[in-house]
Structure 1
Amino acid sequence: MNKEIIYSMNTAYRGEYEIQGFSYGSGDKAACIVGAMRGNEFQQLYISSLLAKKLGELEARGAIVSGKKILLIPSINYSSFNVGKKYWITDNSDINRSFPGNPEGQATSRIAAAVMEKVTGYAYGIQFASFYMDGEFIPHVRMIETGKQSNSLASQFGMPYVLTAEPRSYDKATLNYNWQMRGTEAFSVYSGVTDTINGESANQAVSSVLRFLTRMGVIRYNCHAGYISTIMDEEDLLSIRSEHAAGFFKKLVQPGDEVVRGDIIANIINPMTGENTTDIYAPTDGIIFYCQNSPMIYQNSVIFKMIRRLHN
């Protein structure tokens, strides 16, 4: 393992700011893996630490294929971790909405430009991303439909689902989108939670990356075959909202649970009286993909996303 300084600059609050990378093997730029970009992505940083340990062990055993280089960047925004903020500490901007960046721009734009320069040219790019909504969700691989994406390659992670999505305006300022625009096969791996640590889903994410790198001929590693991934469009997810009342949220199901139409999947409780004011019903047969984890839910909030049964 070799330590690399991806980018450094002086900051007003914490002195020298460095982004550290760790490389394994040498030769062709085979795979680049990026971890936490935000200061609340504890799960993503934890996954990166597990992967760093595993890649170090594989390198020591000579299991990195000769002529292949892997670059791992565990965190791009550790300063925000240090002060308990989600976004960049001085102006609350989001690094993953700043790509491809500007070396003469604001801090997050300069960081994005430096990272983009370092990660360009790799055959495969993997980001441990956080879901755009707070809550818990089924682990999956997400790809932006740029016309350059490969569903078949995404399936090689062996995750339960591959989610595809049309690029929204802000997606065009993300690492994933700009990686694809520069010729890298880019994938975002989502592992269930963000601001807490879930060991089971973290290990699943690490296994999925090692499985992918093995299948792409970058490492030699014996692993479980994983899932036969279901490929679906993000637009096909059915959103369930708390339409009639606000209050305490008591969920009765978890991501991955199968439900049938008419099942009660949550209660909304009056915070003043403790009375159950609303039952939330499953509108169709399917699987819970996402659920809110906030203790209080407000009217018209999305509280679940469901995968409809294919036969419905």
Structure 2
Amino acid sequence: MKKSILFSLRSPYREQLDIVGFHFGHGKKALAIVGAMRGNEVQQMYVCSRMVQALKKLESSGKLAEDTEILVVPCVNYYSMNIGKRFWTMDNTDINRMFPGYDQGETTQRIADGVFSQLKGYEYGIQLASFYQPGIFLPHVKMMDTGFTDSEIMKDFGLEFGIIRKPRPYDTTTLNFNWQVWETKAFSVYANATDVIDVKAADEAVNAILRFMNNRSIVSAKTPPGYITEILDESQTQQLRSEAAGLFFRVTDIGKTVENGDILGRIYDPLDGELVAEIRTPVSGTVYFAYNSPLINAKTVCFKIIK
């Protein structure tokens, strides 16, 4: 293993920002894994730290393929992480909306440019992703349909679901999209939690990435058997939004099979405790996202169902 600084940024008020990468093996750029891009992505950083430990063991026992290099970047934005803020500390911008970056631009554009210059050229790219709403996920893998995709590769992760989504205009400035434009086969892996550590879900994510590497002949690793992945288009999922604001209580969990009309959550008035809304599913299927903050606004996505 070789540890290196991929990009540095000096600050007049804080210690220098050094974005660290861990390199395994030598030769062809096979796989890059990126963790926390935002300051609350603790689970994503934790999964990457677990990958570093797993790859150290595989490398020391000669289980990496010859002429192969793997890069792991656990955290890009620890400036925000160590003060408990999701986005960039100074101007509240999102690094994952700044790719491919610009070396003469705003701070987050420069960070994106510096990081992306190190991530280009890998055959495969995996980002440990999080959702913009507070919530928990059924672990799954996602690809953007950019015209450069081969969705069948998602089956190599052995997760229950692989989802293909058509990129929206704001997606064109994400790492995943730009990786694909520069001919890297890019995947987003969702590992249940974001701002807390879920060890069981992290185990599943680590095993899924190791299965992928094993199936792609990047490493030789023994992992628990996975699922026969069901490949879905995002149009086969249904978003459920809250009808009112208040105290949010969910009565189902991710991975549960629900039927049309089932109650998934309830919203209560925060002052008098009266029930103000029930969230019922209009479709049957599997819950793969659930909002988990105690307070909710009206029209907030609170559940996602795979129909």
1:279 paired to 2:278: yes
Counterpart residue number, 1:190: 190
Counterpart residue number, 1:255: 254
Cα deviation digits, residues 116-174 of structure 1 (max 9, x gap): 11111111111111123221121111111100011111111111111111111111101
1:62 counterpart letter in structure 2: G
TM-score (norm 2): 0.97
Cα deviation digits, residues 215-273 of structure 1 (max 9, x gap): 11110111123111111122322122222x33211110011111112222222222222
How far the C-alpha of 1:79 sits from its partner, in A, is: 1.1
**Alpha-carbon RMSD:** 1.2
Provide structure 2 residue ranges, at least 5 long, that are not aligned to the other structure: none
SS of residue in 2 equivalent to 1:35: strand
Counterpart-to-counterpart distance in 2, 1:7 and 1:199: 30
Cα deviation digits, residues 177-220 of structure 1 (max 9, x gap): 11100111111111111111111111111111110011111101
Counterpart-to-counterpart distance in 2, 1:22 and 1:51: 10
Counterpart residue number, 2:73: 73
Counterpart residue number, 1:12: 12
How far the C-alpha of 1:284 sits from its partner, in A, is: 2.4
How far the C-alpha of 1:56 sits from its partner, in A, is: 0.5
SS of residue in 2 equivalent to 1:11: coil
Counterpart residue number, 2:54: 54
2:288 counterpart letter in structure 1: F
1:273 counterpart letter in structure 2: D
Q: How does 1:202-241 map to 2 (within 5 A)?
A: 202-241=202-241
Counterpart residue number, 1:268: 267
Distance 1:279 1:90, change over 3 A: closer
Counterpart-to-counterpart distance in 2, 1:272 and 1:83: 31
2:54 counterpart letter in structure 1: K
Q: How does 1:59-208 map to 2 (within 5 A)?
A: 59-208=59-208
Greater mean deviation of Cα atoms: 157-166 or 277-286: 277-286
Counterpart-to-counterpart distance in 1, 2:45 and 2:226: 23
How far the C-alpha of 1:85 sits from its partner, in A, is: 1.2
Counterpart-to-counterpart distance in 2, 1:302 and 1:27: 44
2:246 counterpart letter in structure 1: G
Counterpart-to-counterpart distance in 1, 2:298 and 2:104: 43
SS of residue in 2 equivalent to 1:177: helix
SS of residue in 2 equivalent to 1:83: coil
Counterpart-to-counterpart distance in 1, 2:298 and 2:117: 44
Provide structure 1 residue ranges, at least 5 long, that are not aligned to the other structure: none
Greater mean deviation of Cα atoms: 91-100 or 6-15: 6-15
TM-score (norm 1): 0.95
SS of residue in 2 equivalent to 1:127: strand
**Matched residues, percent identical?**
43
1:137 counterpart letter in structure 2: F
Counterpart-to-counterpart distance in 1, 2:6 and 2:214: 26
Counterpart residue number, 2:38: 38
2:251 counterpart letter in structure 1: L
1:78 counterpart letter in structure 2: Y
Structure 1 segments of 4 or more deviating over 3 A?
A: none
Cα deviation digits, residues 35-73 of structure 1 (max 9, x gap): 111110000011011111110011111111111110111
Cα deviation digits, residues 97-117 of structure 1 (max 9, x gap): 010001111111111111111
Counterpart-to-counterpart distance in 1, 2:240 and 2:9: 45
Greater mean deviation of Cα atoms: 62-71 or 273-282: 273-282
Counterpart-to-counterpart distance in 1, 2:133 and 2:245: 18
Equivalences, count: 307
